[in-house]
Amino acid sequence: MDFDAVKRDFLDHCRGKGLSPHSLKAYRQDLADYAGWLAREGTAEPLTRDAIAGWVLALQDRALAPASIKRRVACLKVLCRWLEEEGRIETSPFHRLRFDIRLPRRLPRNVRRDDLRTLFAAAIRPPAHAASRMARETLHLAIELMFTTGVRVGELCAIRVDDIDLGEGVIRIRGKGNRERRVFFVDDAVRAHVRSYLKRRAATRPATERLLVTREGTPATPDYIRRHLKALTEAAGLPIPITPHMLRHSAATELLDNGVDIRFVQKLLGHSSISTTEIYTHVSDTSLKHAIQSAKAGKGVRGG
């Protein structure tokens, strides 16, 4: 099998499917890495279990991060599945082939309360240019909703105007796997903010049903929100950039710290497994420590 030809055909297939330039670049680099290893090893058959297992061992010897190794293996797996579907190989070598590539469980990073106050203060400050007012208002509402409801930034940008029930303070969310759920904004101030934004938005006559729009009236994308949020945190002089995911983490922690049952938090965040939600409980350890210190547990029991 001519692996270089296979690689070219596969990338053409991916391009035809409309994969993003970012994904295409990653596939190209990962397959080039595998091809380079094959050439150095002098491997005649490029897509056998032994060849793939040898490459994975070589990647681990290079002390690459587990996430990087997983990505490279996933790329090769997609290629083999495509070859199998095309009838160019009888069976993917990945059938019954498993690798123990453990990802470290990263703990969520929250936004400190002082930083949140600074961020919200910067968000309500009028922008230098009047033309940027709609962009600032969109970002302000995005921050408010992510922190209040814990929605993912992709879910946030997919919200349509008719997904919002102002009277009930409810938003319909389309989450991962097209699963629908409802999130709530029960605070009167947040409800007033949404109502005010809808009026301002209507005045711009955007050509979209999406809630969040740019100053040109086009739908705000996740990249748009990330970019403007990063710029706002820098303008506010915050020590680290605040990301949409950090706001989601902070929303979960706020709820848990205030005694909300973890099962309700799981439902609100749209987690299919409660084990995903449980990772947030570590953040409440700080609150627990403060509570124990305040209660002065054991005072009067010990001598001295």
| Number of other residues whose CB lies within 10 A of the CB of residue 7 | 18
3-state secondary structure of 31: helix
Out of 70, 77, 245, 267, the active site residue is: 245
Concerning whether 245 is annotated as a catalytic residue, the answer is yes
Q: Are 150 and 253 in contact (CB under 8 A)?
A: no
DSSP 198-256: HHHHHHH--SS-BS-B-TTSSBPPHHHHHHHHHHHHHHTT-SS---HHHHHHHHHHHHH
- Reduced to 3 states (helix: H, G, I; strand: E, B; else coil), residue 160 is strand
* Nearest-angstrom CA–CA distance, 156 and 146: 8
Does 271 participate in catalysis according to the annotation? yes
* From 140, 210, 248, 249, active-site residue: 248
Catalytic residue among 152, 193, 201, 249: 152
What is residue 171's three-state secondary structure? strand
Instruction: Please pick, among 176, 195, 263, 290, the residue that the annotation labels catalytic.
Output: 176
176 is catalytic: yes
Q: Is 193 a catalytic residue?
A: no
The residues annotated with a catalytic role in the active site are 152, 176, 245, 248, 271, 280
